[in-house]
Amino acid sequence: MWFALLSFLIINLILIVMEEILKLPQSQLKLHIKELAEDYYVNYGRRVCTSCPSDINNMLITLRKHYKMTNFEFKKLNGIYKMKQGGSVTISNKSMTDEIALEFLSINKERISLFSKYPENWEELLDNPTVEPKVDVEPIHLEETPIIQSDLRDELSKYKMQELREMYPDIKATSKEDFITLVLNED
Amino acid sequence: MSCIKKITADITFDCQDKALKGLAGSKAVIINFDDIDPTATTSTGATISELNLKSGSTGFSIGWYKDLGSTAIEFTPNSEVVDGFAHSFLCRLGTSSAANAEIASELKGGRFIIVVETNYKGVSNADAFKVYGFENGLELSEMTGNSGENAGSLLFTLRTKEDTYEEYPYAILSETDYLTTKASFDSLFASV
């Protein structure tokens, strides 16, 4: 029983630490890339190329989903948008949290068309952010650890061939399908 | 004769502000000339203080490897029209894919402006972002491909159209400060 309790506490501690790290601004987040990469490896069984920007982006997006930090996701996986005209703050899947997404939508509700995933009651959340988000669009399956191959195949399919080549420089293939198959076989 | 101008300031060299070649980040933003919102875009002399696109429009990123993308300018004296500068952007479509064939076709019919971040950023990073083709746009002037050269890539040049000119060798984009301009650049000037 003590062992179970200790395990529960450790898991929760890791959860809190990872969430805190993922909330850090870009400049400080860079200092924790190795910890995040290790956590990503533990959860998904794949080593991240820590010198490849696109691979790091992919890792951050996946970990944010993993820790259920956001119910929002842009259609453009690597898209970046300015929060408001004339400002210096941007929003992307890499930095997405529910709070930031709602701030972005509060400026212009039509921006919802930019999202591929969002809570069903997003308009209600704009008025009252404390309401529980109703998620009915492609729920994230946390229990699937490590990630099943079909999910990973779908995830990798979103990338362009050039981006895949940057993420997996050792893999050679002429078609995207073959490339992804080789990636999955490698893991 | 009001077009004839005089030098109005010293031409100096500052050892603390040395020249630096190259484009930063191996990336540029290409914008359809017609997507620029002229009513919301402001410039004074060679400095653009606001570059805004029409609602719902966005620029597109264009990336390259190492130093395979570059910009160039030249003075174009002309006996028939006003003298000015011609801008060029040289880059390549990396692979002979179907997607790049589509892009090549779009490039040949369009008019664009190009925004880049240079390695040289000037004092307080105020000169980091440059715009090419701001006044008249750039059009495809050359595209070549050879299966046995340049890894089969398609090399292309966007250039100021013949008999048009730009008043300045480049325009500086400076929206308030570096971070604000960088945010616009990273978001591809998307108007959402």
Domain span at residue B181? 23-186
CA distance A122 to A135: 10
The alpha carbon of residue B25 is apart from the nearest alpha carbon of chain A, in Å, by 11
The predicted structure's pLDDT at residue A138: 47
Q: Is the pLDDT of residue A152 over 80?
A: no
Chosen from A84, A162, A163, A179 to mutate, greatest number of chain B CBs within 10 A: A162
Question: In terms of DSSP bridges, do strands B47-50 and B171-173 run parallel, antiparallel, or are they unpaired?
Answer: parallel
Q: Are residues A134 and A174 in the same domain?
A: no
What residue in A sits closest to B52 (Cα-Cα)? A85
Chosen from B187, B188, B189, B191 to mutate, greatest number of chain A CBs within 10 A: B187
Domain span at residue A53? 1-68
Assigned domain for B18 exists: no
The predicted structure's pLDDT at residue A130: 83
* Residue type at position B47: T
Q: Is the pLDDT of residue A3 over 60?
A: yes
Interchain contact B52–A (C-beta under 8 A): yes
What residue in B sits closest to A175 (Cα-Cα)? B97
Measured N-to-C along each axis, helices A2-23 and A53-66 cross at an angle, to the nearest 10 degrees, of 130
Query: Are the beta carbons of A82 and B183 separated by less than 8 Å?
Result: yes
Q: Is the pLDDT of residue A160 over 50?
A: yes
Q: What is the pLDDT of residues B34-78, one digit of tens each?
A: 999 999 999 999 999 999 999 999 999 999 988 899 999 999 988
Q: Is the pLDDT of residue A79 over 80?
A: yes
Handedness of CA B139, B142, B148, B150 (dihedral sign): negative
pTM for this model (two decimals): 0.73
Least CB-CB distance to A81: which of B52, B180, B190?
Answer: B190
How many domains, in total, are found in chain B?
1
Q: What is the pLDDT of residues B97-137, one digit of tens each?
A: 999 999 999 999 999 999 999 999 998 899 999 999 999 99
Instruction: Classify residue A82 by burial, with Cβ atoms within 10 Å: 0-12, 13-18, 19+.
Output: buried
How many domains, in total, are found in chain A?
3
Q: What is the largest CA-CA distance in chain A?
A: 57
Q: Is the pLDDT of residue A93 over 60?
A: yes
Assigned domain for B164 exists: yes
Q: What is the pLDDT of residues A163-181, one digit of tens each?
A: 788 777 778 777 888 888 7
Q: Are residues A61 and A17 in the same domain?
A: yes
The predicted structure's pLDDT at residue A146: 46
Chain A hits for B179, CB-CB cut-off 8 Å, are 88
